[in-house]
């Protein structure tokens, strides 16, 4: 009898030797290269925990967000109903954050008044040639009440101020698309 092994088990990342450890590491802070460090005045901090990894549970400290997780069928997992993935959560957060950045840029910086801004975010996960896993993001801004030129300017500037865009810059490929509807 042949057993079926989920595909994600074959996709285990190669961990560079410098990151391997046999002991427990506590309070480790990983700093980006100096050219990517930004000064930051923290206004709000979200707190969340996850147990069981991709087949577990995650929730915020205040309990406002609480989700069971499951590896999707496309990655060889069970794809359980009524569950989500880290990529779903990232996509939802990025879409909301980018929408707020568009609102901010439209009103505060460009003095534009679009009648509606709708952000769609696709987050893909895959293996990297150098080992490990990586993400690719596609953001589509559907904007009404502006010309195509103004909408594109708005999206480009929002990409410069959005916290998610700043966090992913120079690390995650992000494709921007602007549609005037």
Query: Sign of torsion, CA 98 176 108 41?
Result: positive
Find out whether 118 and 100 touch, Cβ atoms under 8 Å. Answer: no
- Domain ranges in the chain are 18-75, 86-180
Q: pLDDT by residue for the chain (181 residues), tens digit each?
A: 444 444 444 444 444 444 434 444 455 555 556 666 678 899 999 999 999 999 999 999 999 999 999 999 999 999 999 999 999 999 999 999 999 999 999 999 999 999 999 999 999 999 999 999 999 999 999 999 999 999 999 999 999 999 999 999 999 999 999 999 9
**DSSP-assigned letters across all residues of 103-168:** HHIIIIIS----SEEEEEEEEEEEE-TTSSEEEEEEEEEEEESS-HHHHHHHHHHHHHH-HHHHHH
Tally Cβ neighbours within 10 Å of residue 37. 9
Residues in the chain: 181
CA distance 99 to 150: 16
Residue with tokens 């594109």: 152
Determine whether domain 18-75 maps to CATH 2.20.25.10: yes
Q: Do 18-75 and 86-180 agree at the fold level? A: no
In 3D space, the residue among 49, 121, 120, 123 whose CA is nearest the CA of residue 85 turns out to be 123
CA distance 159 to 163: 9
What is the model's pTM? 0.81
Q: Which CATH number fits domain 86-180: 3.60.110.10, 3.30.70.100, 3.30.300.20, 3.90.1640.10?
A: 3.30.300.20
């Amino acid at each position: 009898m042949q057993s079926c092994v989920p595909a994600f088990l074959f996709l285990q990342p190669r961990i560079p030797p410098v990151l391997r450890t046999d002991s427990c590491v506590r309070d480790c802070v990983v700093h980006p290269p100096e050219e990517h460090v930004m000064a930051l005045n923290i206004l709000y901090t979200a707190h969340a925990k996850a147990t069981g990894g991709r087949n577990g549970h995650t929730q915020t400290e205040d309990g406002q967000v609480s989700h069971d997780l499951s590896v999707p069928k496309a990655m060889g997992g069970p794809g359980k109903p009524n569950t989500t993935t880290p990529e779903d959560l990232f996509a939802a957060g990025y879409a909301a954050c980018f929408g707020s950045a568009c609102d901010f840029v439209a009103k505060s910086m460009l003095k534009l008044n679009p009648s509606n801004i709708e952000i769609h975010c696709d987050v893909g996960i895959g293996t990297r040639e150098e080992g490990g896993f990586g993400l690719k993001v596609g953001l589509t801004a559907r904007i009404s009440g502006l010309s195509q030129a103004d909408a594109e300017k708005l999206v480009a500037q929002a990409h410069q101020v959005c916290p998610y865009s700043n966090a992913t810059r120079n690390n995650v490929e992000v494709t921007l698309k602007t549609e005037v509807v």
